[in-house]
Amino acid sequence: MSFADFKSKRQSKSSKSYVSALSGPVASVPTQSSPQASTSAVRNDTVMDTDGLYPQLPSLLEIRKTVHSGRGLWTRQHVKYGSVILSIDAHVVVLSNQHLDSHCSSCAKAASTSPSMRCSGCGTLRYCNSGCQKADWSLHKHECKALKRWAETAPSAALGVPNDAVRCLGRILWQMKSNGLNSGWSKEIQTMQSHKVSLQHSASVETHTHLAHSVVRYLGLTAPSDLEEYGILSTGDLVNMISRFITNAIALTSPSLTPIGAIVSPLAALTNHSCLPNAIVVFPRGGKTKMKESVMDVIALRDIAAGEEVLMTYVDTTLPKAQRQQVLTETYNFTCQCPLCKQSATVVDPREAVLCPKSCGGICPLPTEDNQVSRCSACKAAISDPDAVIDAARVGQEALDKATHLQSSDADKAKHLTTNIIPILVSAGLPPSSHPLLALLKLHQSLLLASFSDQISQNLLDESIRAAAKHVAGLSAILDPGHPVRGVALAELGKLLAVDEPSPSPSSSSRQTASFPPSGPTRLKLAYETLLKGREELLIGFGRENEGGEVGREVRENIVALEKELGVWTTGIRNALEDGAVRRSGKT
| DSSP-derived secondary structure for 345-375 | TTSPPGGGEEE-TT-SS-EEEPP-SS----B
Fill in the DSSP letter of residue 63: E
Question: What are the pLDDT tens digits along the chain (588 aa)?
Answer: 455 554 554 444 433 332 233 333 223 333 333 333 344 444 457 888 888 899 999 999 999 999 888 899 999 999 999 999 999 989 999 999 999 999 999 988 887 755 579 999 999 999 988 999 999 999 999 999 999 999 998 877 668 899 999 999 999 999 999 999 999 999 999 999 887 666 555 556 778 888 999 999 999 998 878 899 999 998 889 989 999 998 899 999 998 899 999 999 999 999 999 999 999 999 987 544 555 556 899 999 999 999 999 999 999 999 999 999 999 988 888 899 999 999 988 899 999 999 999 999 999 999 999 889 999 999 999 999 999 999 999 999 999 999 999 998 999 999 999 999 999 999 999 999 999 999 999 999 999 998 887 667 889 999 999 999 999 999 999 999 999 999 999 999 999 999 988 865 444 444 444 589 999 889 999 999 999 999 999 999 999 999 999 999 999 999 999 999 888 877 765 566 566 555 556 544
The packing angle between helices 484-498 and 549-587, to 10°, is 30
Contact 300, 58 (CB under 8 A): no
Phi first, then psi, for residue 65 (nearest 5°) are -120, 130
Instruction: Please enumerate in sequence order all residues whose Cβ is within 8 A of that of 551, keeping only pairs 6 or more positions apart, or say none.
Output: 255, 256, 284, 487, 488, 491, 538, 542
Quote the strand ranges of 187-290, DSSP E: 250-253, 259-264, 272-273, 279-282
Contact 85, 299 (CB under 8 A): yes
Whole-angstrom distance, CA of residue 134 vs CA of residue 140: 9
Domain boundaries for CATH 2.170.270.10 within the chain: 3-96+163-332
Please count the other Cβ atoms lying within 10 Å of the Cβ belonging to residue 513. Answer: 8
Q: Which CATH number fits domain 3-96+163-332: 1.20.120.530, 2.30.110.10, 2.60.40.10, 2.170.270.10?
A: 2.170.270.10
Task: Write out the H or E segment, with its range, that includes residue 426.
Answer: helix 411-427
Residue type at 326 in one-letter notation:
Q
Whole-angstrom distance, CA of residue 68 vs CA of residue 34: 10
Whole-angstrom distance, CA of residue 256 vs CA of residue 489: 9
Contact 111, 95 (CB under 8 A): no
Whole-angstrom distance, CA of residue 364 vs CA of residue 356: 6
Whole-angstrom distance, CA of residue 49 vs CA of residue 336: 27
Phi first, then psi, for residue 103 (nearest 5°) are -135, 155
Instruction: Please enumerate in sequence order all residues whose Cβ is within 8 A of that of 278, keeping only pairs 6 or more positions apart, or say none.
Output: 40, 300, 301, 302, 304, 308, 310, 311
Instruction: Please enumerate in sequence order all residues whose Cβ is within 8 A of that of 108, keeping only pairs 6 or more positions apart, or say none.
Output: 93, 95, 252, 260, 261, 283, 292, 293, 294
The pLDDT of residue 329 is 87
Handedness of CA 354, 356, 358, 361 (dihedral sign): negative
The pLDDT of residue 203 is 58
Concatenated DSSP letters of 508-545: HHHHHHHSSS--HHHHHHHHHHHHHHHHHHHHHHS-TT
Fill in the DSSP letter of residue 344: -
Whole-angstrom distance, CA of residue 502 vs CA of residue 155: 49
Whole-angstrom distance, CA of residue 234 vs CA of residue 174: 17
∠ CA(350), CA(271), CA(480), 5° rounding?
25
CA 549, 255, 316, 185: dihedral to nearest 10 degrees? -90
Quote the strand ranges of 19-131, DSSP E: 45-47, 61-66, 70-75, 84-89, 92-95, 117-118, 126-127
Q: What would you report as the CA-atom Rg of the chain, rounded to the nearest whole angstrom?
A: 26
* CA atoms in the 13 A half-sphere facing the CB of 441: 26
